[in-house]
Amino acid sequence: MALEIIQQHKVHGGTLSYVRHASQATGTPMRFSVFIPGEAKGPHPYAIWLSGLTCTEDNFTTKAGAYGHAAQAGLAIVAPDTSPRGEGVADDPAYDLGQGAGFYVDATQPPWAPHFSMETYVTADLLSAVEDGFPLDPARRGIFGHSMGGHGALTLALRHPELFRTVSAFAPIASPTRCPWGRKAFAAYLGPNETAWAEHDAVLLIAQGRARGRSILVDQGGADNFLAEQLKPDLLEAAAKEGGADLTLRMQDGYDHSYFFISSFIGDHVAWHAARL
């Protein structure tokens, strides 16, 4: 399947496209949205946004209010779906496992392994698709995300530093090996060997020095219902001190886990990436 433009809209002087393509990693069609700023031909610097549990390529696009900021900064933004979907793709009745909850890892366990290869999808198939189909600069690429997608942004940037020059996150699942969401997903996708889980835990990777000297911006709402049990930003801060990461952790008093929180600070994150790309 070649790139198929499903919808296209003009927004803030740029072009927003919804795209479907075939993924070798997942063995399914996958969807993403891509915003290209202005009328310039490019190639443009760009950032990949990874969304959280239950989301698709549309949540960020319609709720984050990012494209006015991106247009001013000259930054393109790509937002993929959060998992493979469709007939024959494994799923679970719970919101935090299966379709809509890929956790940006490559599953090794049944019934997930045939399709749930979201790390390879984001770092290979998606990059190839967007850079072949749109005027984007592979030398100026960043990544950011929210919640499960914040976990994905941090871990993929740390595991593939050659691919992503910049990284930031909103309310990331900082240490999935130490929270219910992460432990449930990792047990299902990666199996019982927790040594394999550690390679997908941002806190553990940062403590090992995998982000040494690297700048990371994290915003966290102080009124987030998931703060203590699932997100644990204090562990991220401690790991940054241990591993020599240049972490800017901003606790935003009164803000929750929603896109109202994201839309309040998305301009700062767009500017963060644009200045460094």
The catalytic residue positions are: 147, 224, 257
Q: What secondary structure does DSSP assign to 147-214, as a single string?
A: THHHHHHHHHHHH-TTT-SEEEEES----GGGSHHHHHHHHHHH-S-HHHHHTT-HHHHHHTTTTBT-
Q: Tell me the pTM.
A: 0.97
pLDDT tens digit at each of 277 positions of the chain: 589 999 999 999 999 999 999 999 999 999 999 999 997 788 999 999 999 999 999 999 999 999 999 999 999 999 999 999 999 999 999 999 999 999 999 999 999 999 999 999 999 999 999 999 999 999 999 999 999 999 999 999 999 999 999 999 999 999 999 999 999 999 999 999 999 999 999 999 999 999 999 999 999 999 999 999 999 999 999 999 999 999 999 999 999 999 999 999 999 999 999 999 9
Q: What does the alpha-carbon distance between residue 277 and residue 215 come to, in Å, rounded to a whole number?
A: 13
Q: What does the alpha-carbon distance between residue 25 and residue 10 come to, in Å, rounded to a whole number?
A: 31
How many CB atoms neighbour CB 56 within 10 A? 19
Candidates 265, 224, 229; CA nearest to 248 is 265
How many CB atoms neighbour CB 241 within 10 A? 11
What residue type is 206 in one-letter code?
I
- Please, are residues 182 and 109 in contact by the beta-carbon 8 Å criterion? no
